[in-house]
Amino acid sequence: MGPLESSEEGQAGLPKNYIRPCLLLLVREQPSHGYDLLERLDGLGMRRMDPGGLYRALRAMEQEGLVGSRWEPSEAGPPRRTYHLTEEGEDWLHAWAGTLRETQRIVGAFLTRYELTWREVAAGP
The residue range of the domain holding 29 is 19-123
For position 27, which CATH number holds?
Answer: 1.10.10.10
Residue 32 lies in a domain: yes
Residue 71 belongs to a domain: yes
Q: What total of structural domains would you count in the chain?
A: 1
How confident is the model over 55-111, as pLDDT tens digits?
999 999 999 999 999 999 988 889 999 999 999 999 999 999 999 999 999 999 999
Reported pTM: 0.82
DSSP 23-84: HHHHHHHS-EEHHHHHHHGGGGT--S--HHHHHHHHHHHHHTTSEEEEEE--SSSS-EEEEE
For residue 12, tell me if it sits in a domain: no
